[in-house]
A and B are shown apart, each in its own frame.
Chain A
Amino acid sequence: MNTTPDDVMLALWLDDELEGDEFALVEAWAADKPDQLAAREETRRWRKQFASLVPASEEPPYPDFFNSRIHRAITETANVESVARVRKVSWWRAAWWIPSAAVAGMALTFWLGTRVPYSQPVAPVAVTPAAPAISPALYTPDGEVKADYFSSAKAGATVIVLDGVAAIPDDMDFSNTAAVETPDDSDFTALSDQPADSQ
């Protein structure tokens, strides 16, 4: 079985960084190797001497001032950050209703959408408003004449029946009862043909 440690394990062992089984394994391997044991002792000696000459800790000059400057720097930054945060919060509080209104609007739109049943689109139809059922008022100047009114939407006809009206003679001249336009009335320019002094 090859128990020779690799370079990494050996370096860790030389610097006393191994522990547990790994340490025991390399320690057993190095037990009969005086050069390795000497190398480890040399490393330990070096570390000890070097560390005794170079301080690991050294108080900075004016330590209280050192701390107070750090304290001031971080509290000033914290104040700036808190002011920025307060501004953000203030804006949010001032406009708290904006998101609420948006959500309410969306909910209302959705609800209205659910109220309209889905159907296939149809071609638009011109819808004629139904004629109101009006009963015409009938009036006859002659009280002996009765008038009746009949209307049929199905036949598309309206009939007015007058009862009591004397028969109209065949020789009746309607020209006496009807307004017939004369040429002068119909042609206004005809007057302009007459002499001016005749007017």
Chain B
Amino acid sequence: MNKSRGDTSNPVTGSIEASSSGDPLEMDDALLVARAQAGDVRAYDDLVTRHRGRVYAMIRSMIHHEADAWDLAQEVFIKAWHALPRFEAKARFTTWLFRITHNVVCDFTRKRKIESAGEFNDEIFGRDRIDPLASTAPAETESPDASLAHGELRAKIEAALGKLSEEHREAVLLKDVQGLSYKEIADAMGCSIGTVMSRLFYARQKLQALLKDEYDAR
């Protein structure tokens, strides 16, 4: 990240922006990871507490289902525990967690597609199978309670995200919300930096088109 990164300081992702090699949080992560790798379950519990919010928010933004996001976030941390002996400090623990998150969400959506194949069930019909630019694409509406809780704008953002393909949605969330670098996103998604750039470009373009009214008003 260059020095001008401070101009774009993200109030939500501030801790991530500061996650350079000398960041105390990263150093604490490294210590906790080392202890957890030695079998210290309490250290791993601290790691879960520290990162559960980001993992859960990422999954929830990806699949738009609170209960499923809760279960999948659990699965991420359980898989991470089993894979922890193979974790090397070459990457940030956060990036590594997002890599596992990517795999868990991909497995989930793949299974959901298989289960919903040939069915006309509105509840399990994959929204990412609908062309985002189709004039008849249904709007993603939340329940009144949820809409009140999250705010109308938040609902519109989520609706717009729901109209992106899975890959475009993940790229824009990892970059613009979680603050990962291109290299880290490529590692997390298992693709090249060029692919990340391409996905991010189209994802932003689509989102700006979908949120044109709100974006221009701000």
Contact = CB atoms under 8 A, between A and B. Distances in A.
Interface in B85-114: none
Contacts, number: 129
B1 A46 contact: no
A58 B73 contact: no
Interface residues of A, number: 38
> Which size class do B's interface residues fall under?
35 or more
A50 B53 CA distance: 18
B16 interface: yes
B61 A54 contact: yes
13 contacts: A8-B193, A12-B182, A23-B2, A50-B172, A51-B12, A54-B158, A56-B13, A57-B54, A59-B56, A60-B70, A67-B48, A70-B74, A70-B77
Interface of A: 7-8, 11-12, 15-19, 23, 44, 46-61, 63, 66-67, 69-71, 73-75, 77-78
Interface of B: 1-5, 7-8, 10-13, 16, 39, 41, 44-45, 48-49, 52-54, 56-57, 60-61, 66, 69-70, 73-74, 77-78, 81-82, 153-154, 157-158, 161, 172-173, 175-179, 181-182, 193-194, 197, 201, 204, 207-208, 215, 218
Given A8-B197, A58-B53, A60-B69, 12 more contacts: A11-B182, A16-B2, A19-B2, A23-B3, A51-B12, A51-B13, A51-B179, A52-B12, A56-B54, A60-B73, A71-B41, A75-B41
